[in-house]
Chain A
Amino acid sequence: MEKLVIAGKEFGSRLFLGSGKFSSNQVMEEAIKASGTEMVTLAMKRIELDDKEDDMLKHIAHPNIQLLPNTSGVRDADEAVFAAQMAREAFGTNWLKLEIHPDPRYLLPDSVETLKATEKLVKLGFVVLPYCQADPVLCRQLEEAGAATVMPLAAPIGTNKGLETKEFIRIIIEQAGVPVVVDAGIGAPSHAAEAMEMGASACLVNTAISVAGNPVEMAKAFKLAVEAGRMAYESGLGAVTSGNLVASASSPLTAFLND
């Protein structure tokens, strides 16, 4: 399998994991290990002053894992820039999953603010991985603004609906000059495999693993699915049998070339 390269850094795994919604940090850590991932997202929260809870960071910090702090909770570009600076300071990485969703219900990304924030953050030296609509024009604009990847959504976050935006993701993959990471909505390993077969560079999965009956086994299942899908893509999928290719004795359209 070809290595994935983002902003000059190589990744052996094409599965990115979200760290939300696990029943415990222990289960999360085991799922991360089982998935073979090398990129894990995390959020930020305000500390409680009498806080004695388990520090989640130590469960995901590992030399092979790139931390990918997100900006979840921000509502516009200015808040995103602030959150990004806090994340860089707290976690010592300039990598950032930019997500701006002012809509609290479906958590759909705000395209206008996401583009603005990408422009600003790139200038501030961040490696920006924007979560975005499956909008091919927006993805080109994000790329022009210096985004390290684009991360179009497959379906609304947490819905497990799969590739609802398939045709747009196909166009994005066809056009992109940066890796395309399919983010949000992937609910089953088959969805991830399908995205990878189409040529997606990676998949970001969270809910489908964290709320599975057995998150650790599910993490393994996604690892295999992403690898299988990528391998199939790199091997070149076979032809779908089609009526178009039935040989015909007559050649009504091209007969003029035989004269």
Chain B
Amino acid sequence: MKITVNNKETEFDGTSVSDLAAQLQLPEKGVAVAVNNEMIPRSEWSATPLAENANVVIIKAACGG
């Protein structure tokens, strides 16, 4: 199915946020994920399903003042 990850349309074969994390090889630390504008704690990734057209935002650290 198709979902949006950081504004990019992405093909996704899994069902949950943890599947997406595995597919994208997200690091163990330093990232946060939101689905449809709601932050999903890492502990809830496996229990959080991703539906068609889900809007996923993934952030990490950046330089800034």
Q: A82-B34, A85-B39 are in contact. Are A47 and B59 (CB under 8 A)?
A: yes
Contact with A22, one of B5, B58, B63 (Cβ below 8 angstroms): B63
Cβ of A206 under 8 Å from chain B: yes
For A42, list chain B residues within 8 Å (CB).
61-64
Q: How far is the CB of B42 from chain A (nearest CB, A)?
A: 7
B62, A91: Cβ atoms closer than 8 Å: no
Cβ of B53 under 8 Å from chain A: no
A90, B62: Cβ atoms closer than 8 Å: no
Contact with B59, one of A18, A45, A207 (Cβ below 8 angstroms): A45
Cβ of B54 under 8 Å from chain A: no
3 tightest CB-CB pairs across the interface, nearest first?
Answer: A43-B64, A18-B65, A206-B65
Residue of B nearest to A86 (CB): B32
| A18 CA / B64 CA spacing, docked (Å) | 6
| Residues of chain B in range 10-55 having any CB-CB distance to chain A below 8 Å | 10, 24, 26-27, 29-34, 37, 39, 41-42
For B27, list chain A residues within 8 Å (CB).
55
A43, B42: Cβ atoms closer than 8 Å: no
List 25 A-B residue pairs with CB atoms under 8 Å apart, sorted by A's residue number: A19-B63, A19-B65, A42-B62, A44-B32, A44-B59, A45-B59, A45-B62, A46-B6, A46-B58, A47-B26, A47-B60, A49-B10, A49-B24, A56-B61, A57-B29, A69-B61, A70-B64, A86-B39, A87-B32, A89-B41, A90-B30, A90-B32, A90-B59, A90-B60, A91-B30
Using A49-B5, A90-B61, A204-B65 as known contacts, list a sample of 17 further A-B pairs with CB atoms less than 8 Å apart, ordered by residue number in A. A28-B63, A41-B64, A43-B61, A43-B63, A43-B64, A44-B61, A44-B62, A45-B60, A47-B6, A56-B63, A86-B34, A86-B39, A89-B39, A89-B42, A90-B30, A90-B32, A91-B30
Cβ of A72 under 8 Å from chain B: yes
Residue of B nearest to A131 (CB): B65
Which chain A residues have a beta carbon within 8 Å of chain B's beta carbons? 18-22, 25, 28, 41-49, 55-57, 69-70, 72, 82, 85-87, 89-92, 157, 204, 206-207
| A22 CA / B36 CA spacing, docked (Å) | 33
A19, B24: Cβ atoms closer than 8 Å: no
Q: How far is the CB of A30 from chain B (nearest CB, A)?
A: 14
Contact with B64, one of A20, A25, A55, A89 (Cβ below 8 angstroms): A20
